[in-house]
Amino acid sequence: MKKSSYRVGIVGATGAVGIEMLRVMERRNFPVSSLKLLASPRSAGRGMEFNGSEVIVEALTVESFSGLDIVFFSAGASLSKEFAPVAVNAGAVVVDNSSAFRAHPDIPLVIPEINGADVKTHKGIIANPNCTTAVTLMALAPLHKAFGVKRVFASSYQSVSGAGARAIEELRGQTRHSVENRPVEKAVFAHQIVFNVIPHIDRFEENCYTREEMKMQNEGRRILHLPEFRASVTCVRVPVYRAHSVAVSAEFERPVDVWAAREALRAFPGTQVLDDPGASLYPMPIECAGKDDCFVGRIRKDCALDNGLAFWVCGDQLLKGAALNAVQIAELLLDT
């Protein structure tokens, strides 16, 4: 696919992830010769800026993909299932940010720093992982390489922006109403989110885990090439605007060493160590929001697991958990 520049499309361009994709491509000087922004009919005609020029949003149709080289999808699984094959048939390579293809055995699921070589096996579609999985594995992958991970126990602390723009507005509105001693209004979440945490993200499955919780195990197995990997996860929505955090206890095949763990994390691209508890230095979402890297701290031996290590990881779910990872996948395509 080597070319000097590429004809790019974004499906879901007006959403939070679509907007981030534009900014990421600008920052990383992605070689775009033409750009087509696609969204629902109600967004058609809206102007969006890219590299100093205005691009008009078009309504998504089956005719939208003619002449495109790469199409980013970020408009939900149902639209990806319907339109991604159409884009492939039109000659484009699709990088999909939804859950539509993540479990498909013939579609690579990729975090470039971990399993970037898997893009070479694509047949037109490459899947972007779940945001919480991506942030967690950016810390877990180098530790797996050092010690051999067997299983993890984790709790996520997921920001409201992971549920979309309406969720952000709901938190803002509930905050304002609470301060003014007025009743809060609920629409996006089943319960009040301001001054609260909700241990429920996505649909509950028969095993009483949610689909969001099972993604770390199911997707982790594919990305780490580790079919026996196990993960017991509780996903929690918290009243934070942006950036997800995950508390992880991991058990490894080999004895762990905290110094070696820190060195492995420091050497891993896209991951930074922020770990000095005595100085109150550890990752927090308010400081990780808007940053490309994932940050790891509170690194210590787990006192309840054999060969165990406990750590805390924070990352911007709109960037490494979505838009940045997608653009990085596309950058790998430029060399294939």
Mean pLDDT of the chain: 96
148 and 173 together in one domain: yes
- Cα–Cα dist 43/97, whole Å: 20
pLDDT score, position 2: 73
pLDDT score, position 307: 97
288 and 182 together in one domain: yes
Backbone CA torsion sign across 279, 197, 152, 245: negative
177 and 207 together in one domain: yes
The structure's pTM equals 0.95
- How many domains does the chain contain in total? 2
| pLDDT tens, residue by residue, 255-275 | 999 999 999 999 999 999 999
Q: Kindly state whether residue 1 falls inside one of the protein's structural domains.
A: no
Percent pLDDT > 70 in the chain is 100
Stretch 85-97: mean pLDDT, rounded? 98
Q: Kindly state whether residue 277 falls inside one of the protein's structural domains.
A: yes
| pLDDT tens, residue by residue, 130-167 | 999 999 999 999 999 999 999 999 999 999 999 988 99
Strand ranges (DSSP E) for the chain? Answer: 6-11, 32-39, 47-50, 53-56, 58-59, 70-73, 93-96, 125-127, 149-158, 230-237, 244-252, 271-273, 294-301, 308-315
Could you tell me the two tokens for 22?
């534009």
Per DSSP, the three-state class of 181 is coil
276 and 151 together in one domain: yes
| pLDDT bracket for residue 3 (50, 70, 90) | confident
Q: 163 versus 292: which is more confidently predicted?
A: 292
Q: Kindly state whether residue 18 falls inside one of the protein's structural domains.
A: yes
pLDDT for 108 beyond 70: yes
Q: How many CA atoms lie within 13 A of 333 on its CB side?
A: 28
Whether residue 156 contacts residue 244, with contact meaning beta carbons closer than 8 Å, is answered with: yes
| pLDDT tens, residue by residue, 181-217 | 999 999 999 999 999 999 999 999 999 999 999 999 9
What is the CATH classification number for the domain harbouring 10? 3.40.50.720
137 and 265 together in one domain: yes
Percent pLDDT > 90 in the chain is 96
234 and 115 together in one domain: no
| pLDDT bracket for residue 56 (50, 70, 90) | very high
Whether residue 238 contacts residue 232, with contact meaning beta carbons closer than 8 Å, is answered with: no
Angle at Cα 196 formed by Cα 194 and Cα 198, nearest 5°?
115
142 and 37 together in one domain: no
Stretch 80-98: mean pLDDT, rounded? 97
pLDDT score, position 208: 97
- Cα–Cα dist 209/85, whole Å: 31
Tell me the DSSP string of 4-41.
SSEEEEEETTTSHHHHHHHHHHHHTT--EEEEEEEE-G
| 96 strand-pairing partners | 73, 127
Q: Kindly state whether residue 280 falls inside one of the protein's structural domains.
A: yes
Boundaries of domain holding 32:
6-128+322-333
220 and 307 together in one domain: yes
Contacts of 220 (CB under 8 A, 6+ apart): 133, 136, 137, 140, 226, 229, 231
Measuring CA to CA, which residue among 162, 171, 169, 136 is closest to residue 283? Answer: 136
Q: Kindly state whether residue 85 falls inside one of the protein's structural domains.
A: yes
Q: Kindly state whether residue 10 falls inside one of the protein's structural domains.
A: yes
What is the CATH classification number for the domain harbouring 243? 3.30.360.10
Could you tell me the two tokens for 277?
């508890």
180 and 100 together in one domain: no
80 and 184 together in one domain: no
Whether residue 28 contacts residue 2, with contact meaning beta carbons closer than 8 Å, is answered with: no
202 and 98 together in one domain: no
Chain-centre distance for alpha carbon 191 = 24
311 and 329 together in one domain: no
Q: Kindly state whether residue 294 falls inside one of the protein's structural domains.
A: yes
Q: Which residues are catalytic?
A: 131, 244
Whether residue 84 contacts residue 63, with contact meaning beta carbons closer than 8 Å, is answered with: no
Q: Kindly state whether residue 32 falls inside one of the protein's structural domains.
A: yes
| pLDDT tens, residue by residue, 7-42 | 999 999 999 899 999 999 999 999 999 999 999 999
Stretch 303-323: mean pLDDT, rounded? 97
Q: Please provide the distance, in angstroms rounded to a whole number, between the alpha carbons at the two ends of the chain.
A: 6
Give per-residue burial for 144-156: e unless 16+ CB within 10 Å, then b: bebbebbbbbbbb
- Cα–Cα dist 96/224, whole Å: 19
Polymer length of the chain:
336
DSSP code, position 323: I
| pLDDT bracket for residue 1 (50, 70, 90) | low
| pLDDT tens, residue by residue, 324-333 | 999 999 999 9
